[in-house]
Amino acid sequence: MASLASIARRQLDADRMHGFPVDLPDDQARCNQLLKDLVGLMGEIGEFANLLKKVELAITQPGYAGPDLVAAEPELRMELADAQIYLLRLAHLVGVDLGEAVLEKMRLNDERYAYLKKI
């Protein structure tokens, strides 16, 4: 399995090759790109949510002609992948190793929620 860091490098290389801005000269340009990528991320999350809403309606509303979860899974997977790409771009623009940040957050959550541990 590929590491998150190697996936991020591959995505950034692809972005550069396709002319998408990832190496920006100053804070204003970075902030502008962060906002654009954030809007893109929210769009992908919205697409995921909209499809999931249709699945839920198909389950709970007799006669609604929406997909079931199995049928929707490939598209849900692609929407999550699109969202992850935007997260990788956002992390790059703020100089964060997303894999390391997630591991650190998980460690903090382990401490925060230690009282919920089941023995």
CA-based torsion, 103, 104, 108, 114: positive or negative? positive
pTM for the model: 0.91
Token couple for 42: 């929210």
Per-residue pLDDT reduced to its tens digit, 41-94: 999 999 999 999 999 999 999 999 999 999 999 999 999 999 999 999 999 999
Report pLDDT for 91: 97
Mean pLDDT of 2-14: 95
CATH number of the domain encompassing residue 40: 1.10.287
Its domain, for residue 109, covers: 4-116
Token couple for 12: 């950034």
Domain count, the chain: 1
Report pLDDT for 118: 83
pLDDT higher than 90, residue 8: yes
